[in-house]
Amino acid sequence: MRILILSDLHANYHALDAILRAAGQFDQIWCLGDVVGYGPEPNECIERLRAFDLVCLAGNHDLAVAEKLGLDDFNPDAREAVYWTRTQITYAHTNWLAALPTHTTLAAHGITLVHGSPRDAVWEYIMTPPVARACLAQMETPIGFNGHTHVPYLFGKPLYESGVIAEPLPARLTLTQGGDRWLINPGSAGQPRDEDPRAAYALLDLATLTLTHHRVQYDVAATQKLMKQAQLPSRLIRRLRFGQ
Ligand SMILES: [Zn+2]
């Protein structure tokens, strides 16, 4: 089975469309949350994703839009985007977001999916080796996929080594399950923050546990134009061009 893994789409339909065109054949999508928030096309993104065999998690923005999470921890731009999204999103899509799980364990494959981290599925950012080490130790499966930071990254803890592997996600990687542990962030589909504005995603071959990481160019200007029309915060519009 071939899985398309994406995270932090943030209502960027042009990015989603480019990913779906570039990804080739796949059997299922795993979406690690933050389907909406920031971007201009929340309904279109949800509809397109739901047309596939989909495992989808809720991210902090999804929960905020669905009024299941307070806005105290959101910065002013993010908060404004949440308010705007609430005015646009259909009742049915709000209900769909509200019903999404915050984490899921695919026990048969030894894989955990979370938005933030295995110990705080909604809010924790895995950005440093000490945080990654604690999360890897707490994870119930050998392999985990997370999003939230918008930066494609790999943390690993080989069974017979004391150190933690910490590096930008390589283009190709074969995951092992013989006691090694892995946490993989495929990057952000709709608002990358690693200074590469292209949409990020990963493909996983479940039979061989081979993971490939990809970037694809999309029509950034088209998304920015829709954001301007929606009067979304200018900083959110600008950052898409730079991947920041
Ligand atoms: Zn996000």
**What CATH number has the domain bearing residue 36?**
3.60.21.10
Residues of the chain with pLDDT under 50: none
pLDDT value of residue 162? 87
Tokens of 53: 């065999």
Question: 47 alpha carbon to ligand 1 midpoint, in Å?
Answer: 19
**What is the distance in A from the centroid of ligand 1 to the CA of 8?**
4
Query: What is the pLDDT at residue 153?
Result: 98
Dist. CA 196 → ligand 1 center (Å): 16
Separation of 161 CA from ligand 1 center, angstroms? 32
What pLDDT score does 237 carry? 98
Amino acid present at 79: R
Determine which helix (DSSP H) or strand (DSSP E) holds 167, and give its type and residue range.
strand 165-168
End-to-end CA distance of the chain: 33
Taking the centre of ligand 1 as the mean of its atom positions, its distance from the CA of residue 99, in whole angstroms, is: 18
User: What pLDDT score was predicted for residue 178?
Assistant: 82
Q: How far is CA 235 from the centre of its chain?
A: 21
Q: Write down the pLDDT at residue 10.
A: 98
Quick one: how far is CA 231 from the chain centroid?
Answer: 25
Q: How far is the CA of 25 from the centre of ligand 1 (A)?
A: 26
Identify the pLDDT of residue 69. Answer: 96
130: CA distance to ligand 1 center in Å? Answer: 22
- Tokens coding 21: 């065109």
In total, how many domains does the chain have?
1
Distance 209 CA to ligand 1 centre (A): 26
pLDDT, residue 131, reads 96
> Is 65 in contact with 45 (CB distance < 8 Å)?
no
Structural domain boundaries enclosing 199: 2-242
| Cα–Cα separations (whole angstroms), residue 226 to 65, 75, 178, 207, 233 | 19, 22, 48, 40, 12
Å from CA of 146 to ligand 1 middle: 11
Residue-level pLDDT at 115? 98
Euclidean distance between CA atoms 55 and 5, whole angstroms = 10
How deeply is 159 buried, as exposed, middle or buried, from its count of CB atoms within 10 A (0-12, 13-18, 19+)?
A: exposed
SS3 5: strand
Spacing of C-alpha 200 from chain mean position: 9
State how far the Cα of 197 lies from the Cα of 192, in Å rounded to an integer: 6
Q: Which residues are CB-contacts of 91 (< 8 A; sequence separation ≥ 6)?
A: none
Short-list 234, 153, 139, CA closest to 193: 153
The CA 150 to ligand 1 mean position distance, Å, reads: 6
Quote the pLDDT of residue 179: 87
What tokens does 5 get? 């893994």
Task: Report how far residue 239's alpha carbon sits from residue 14's, in angstroms, rounded to the nearest whole number.
Answer: 16
Residues whose CB falls within 8 Å of the CB of residue 113, separated by 6 or more in sequence, listed in order: 30, 32, 55, 57, 103, 104, 105, 106, 144, 145, 146
Token pair for 25: 């054949």
Q: 61 alpha carbon to ligand 1 midpoint, in Å?
A: 7
What is the token pair recorded at 177?
Answer: 């399950």
